[in-house]
Amino acid sequence: MDWKLILQLVGVALGLLYLYLEYKANIWLWVVGLIMPIVHGTLYFRSGLYADCSMQLYYILAGLYGLTVWSRGKRKGAAREPEIGHTPLVMWMQIMVFYVAIHATLYVLLTTFTDSTVPILDSFTTALCIIAYWMLSRKYVEQWLVWLVVDAVTVGLYLYKGIPLTAALYGLYTILAVVGYRRWLKMMPQRA
């Protein structure tokens, strides 16, 4: 069996499990999120998607952070687990500044140190992933909207790079980002 096919099949299975757990706002998403980057990192590196590959290290570190933040409320006497909520307005300007800085840095790194054939899109989706994953760790409902953009662009990128099963997974992610957004809106605590 072809290595791309094997990695894609395992990655799709893990990705579906991860998305289901995220949809449910289940803490186990972080555990799956620690395993999945190894599979995807290998696939992306061998496909020449270097920013996406390096992103997997971030996913591991962010997964550890998210697991820590979400599990705080599970220990007696610890701070409460964050509730699902909206991203504070004051934070959006900071998020935009960080996004631009990350995107520009990744683009320069890709064009300077790699043979990437898609540096603009690779750095675009990777920068947005960093932002979205941080937003997920804080349980900001708008993280789903950022994922929606990432997923839609990634479908075309992965088709172009010859990894169609992973592209199909991201096609499903695109649809489920809308569903997840709506579900999380319903799960938000009602403010009086």
Which one, of 135, 172, 180, 137, lies nearest residue 152 by Cα?
Answer: 172
Q: Tell me the mean pLDDT in the region 99-124.
A: 94
pLDDT of residue 15: 87
Going by pLDDT thresholds of 50, 70 and 90, the confidence category of residue 80 is low
* Token duo for residue 57: 């290290």
pLDDT tens per residue, range 119-160: 999 999 989 999 998 999 889 999 999 999 999 999 999 999
Please give the residue that has the higher pLDDT: either 84 or 103. Answer: 103
Say if residue 77's pLDDT is above 60: no
Going by pLDDT thresholds of 50, 70 and 90, the confidence category of residue 81 is low
pLDDT of residue 191: 61
Q: What is the pTM of this model?
A: 0.79
Task: Please give the single-letter amino acid code of residue 112.
Answer: T
Going by pLDDT thresholds of 50, 70 and 90, the confidence category of residue 1 is low
Arithmetic mean of pLDDT over the chain: 89
Which residues, in sequence order, are CB contacts of 74 under 8 Å at separation 6+? 27, 81
pLDDT of residue 192: 46
Residue pair 50/122 in contact by the 8 Å Cβ criterion? yes
Which one, of 186, 185, 159, lies nearest residue 170 by Cα?
Answer: 159
pLDDT of residue 118: 92
pLDDT of residue 4: 84
**Residue 53: in which H helix or E strand, if any?**
helix 50-71
Q: Tell me the mean pLDDT in the region 22-26.
A: 86
Which one, of 35, 36, 53, lies nearest residue 44 by Cα?
Answer: 53
pLDDT tens per residue, range 25-44: 888 999 999 999 999 999 88
